[in-house]
Amino acid sequence: MFATDTYHLFAKYMKITWRQPLWTLFGLAQPLIWLLIFSDLFSSMAQLQGWPTTDYATFFLPGVMVMTVLFGSAWAGVSLLREINFGTVDKMMVTPIHRGSVLFSRVLHSAATVMIQCLVLLAVAFSMGLHLNLNAAALLAGLVAVWTLGIGFAALSNGIAIVLRREEPLVVVGNFLTLPLMFFSSAMMPVKYMPEWIQWCALVNPINYAVEAARTMFVGSADWALYGKGFCIVLGFAVAAFAWANFTFMKSRG
């Protein structure tokens, strides 16, 4: 069955991750640097008229979490490429395993790994005294939005990896996509302060909707209408990305 096969493969990948926890913790270094340095560097921006929070660090935290997911998921396809090159995937294909679970389990594993990093970031934010929403339902909803984005970009990375079949161009494509998508969103500043042409780019950027959905849950009074809009767009992106990646994977396996 799809669910059972996905669970067992996901558990296998998570066990591998737990055996090498330093890799997951090492991935936290860059987000923590962003949070600490950028929050101090741009602290005066919170004094602008109409700024949505009293301090920049509180505003920036959801952006850092989404950026962590973006950069962590962008390289998810590298692991799949290595298993394809080592023949591991071909061996799976001759077993009774559900083919869809091969890709879906990897996507879930990648999303789960970056979510662990986001939980640590959230704990650090509370320890820094940031003014975050203490409502458990709102915090959970924000994390779900971030996790859904992770699924979408992990699926996209795996699909691109299957098409390219090499690690080097995958890294180039990942770098090409991640930085523009990050800057064409409200991760670092509200959309209303951006040039008009970037505002138009933000309208079609799933990253922007994930940031807005997470921010309205983590900061201030939760706006469930705004969250619902953002989450639905992110969910649609995740479903479309996985559908394409799964189609590409099935086609490549004959």
Q: For residue range 156-201, what is the model confidence (pLDDT) as tens digits?
A: 988 888 888 887 777 788 777 888 888 899 988 898 888 999 999 9
Nearest Cα to 75, choosing from 188, 201, 164, 180? Answer: 164
Alpha carbons 205 and 185: distance in angstroms, whole number = 7
Which residue has 């879930």 as its token pair?
Answer: 108
Would you say residue 46 lies in a domain?
no
Would you say residue 43 lies in a domain?
no
Would you say residue 48 lies in a domain?
no
Mean pLDDT on 98-127: 86
Q: How confident is the model at residue 24 (pLDDT cuts 50, 70, 90)?
A: low
When divided into structural domains, the chain yields a total of: 1
Confidence check: pLDDT of 26 > 70: no
Radius of gyration of the chain (CA): 19
Alpha carbons 10 and 112: distance in angstroms, whole number = 10
Would you say residue 134 lies in a domain?
yes
pLDDT value for 27:
65
Would you say residue 87 lies in a domain?
yes
Would you say residue 40 lies in a domain?
no
pLDDT value for 182:
87
Share in percent of the chain as helix, strand, coil (round to 5): 80, 0, 20
Would you say residue 59 lies in a domain?
yes
Would you say residue 47 lies in a domain?
no
Dihedral angle, C-alpha 96, 101, 103, 108, nearest 10 °: -150
Mean pLDDT on 3-12: 84
Give the residue numbers spanning the domain of 186. 2-35+54-252
